[in-house]
Structures are given as structure tokens and as C-alpha cells.
Amino acid sequence: MTTSALRLMILTALVAAICVIGSFIKVPGFITTAALDSAPAFISVAFLPPLYSGFAASLGHLATALTSGFPSGPFHILIAFEMLIITYVFNVLHKKGFKFMKWVVLIVGNGVMSAIPFYFLISPAFFIGAVPSLLIATIINAVITMIALPVMEKVFSGRKVSNV
């Protein structure tokens, strides 16, 4: 294993661990398991490749599900996969310089689009009940990211973590 691969694994594990800590800070809602587990993964776009940020986000969601008692059962695996995709896309947009579009994709993707499968899998009422608290949690995670991301960019400027 190369030094850069080991460094990526360690940074991803650290981000995932911080996501787990965020999973204990719940955003009150009627149906969802919303928490502050996503912000660390979103912030990691400053120094991690897209897949690694996405993996940390998916682990963060699974920690939130675990600390909430898995209220949506096996659907949490689907949600973790959605988190991986949303964070991956956010990372790619960030790295390509889409300063405004990345936030729109993040908030709409995580706050609304990620709940769409549950409209069909569970019920329209579940979707309608989940979206408001999911959107609020997404906005809180995005605001935290907006504040912390420029700082992390300065910290990691000139210290590239290679893509494996």
C-alpha cells in the first residue's frame, strides 16, 4: 500500500468518525432521521476525492440510522447510497468550480430528491411528512459547510491528497 493510499484511507476514516459524532446531533422532525452527520463529508470535498467523500457521507447516515433505531429499516441502505451519490456529485461540482450550482444540487438533491423513492416505496404521506425536516437539516448542514469549507480550503491549499 502506498503512502498516498494510506493517507486517503486515514482521512476518510477521520471524516467518517466526525460524521458519526454529528449523527448524535439530531434535527427534530416528524418522520426522518435527520442529523448533522452530513456536514463533515460535505466539508471533506476540500481535500478528499469524490468517492471518498461519498463513502464518508454514507457511513455518517448509517450512524444516524443506528443512533435513531433504524426507523426506516432496510431503506437506510438506500439512503446511505443516495448520500454517497449526492456527496460525490457535490464534490465533483466543487472541484470543477461550480460555485453556485453545487449548493443548488446539494440542497435540492439531499433535501427533496432523496425522499422521492419513498413516495413510491412507503407512501405519498411519508414523502410529504419527511421533506420539511429533511430540507431543514440539509440547509443546516449546508450552512455549516459554507462556513467551514473556505477555512478547510486554506488549510489544505498546497497539500494535495492524491486520487487513488
Residue range of the domain that includes 69 = 3-156
The grid cell for 156 is 489544505
Confidence of residue 152 (pLDDT cuts 50, 70, 90): very high
15 pLDDT above the threshold of 90: yes
- Mean pLDDT (the chain) is 92
* pLDDT value, residue 1: 76
Number of domains composing the chain: 1
Confidence of residue 164 (pLDDT cuts 50, 70, 90): very low
Given this model, what pLDDT does residue 114 score?
95
CA 151 from centroid of its chain's CA atoms: 19
For the entire predicted model, the pTM comes to 0.92
CATH of the domain at 64: 1.10.1760.20
Closest residue by Cα to residue 92 from 22, 141, 163, 144: 163
Whether 162 is covered by a domain: the verdict is no
Residue 138 CA, chain-centre distance (Å), reads 9
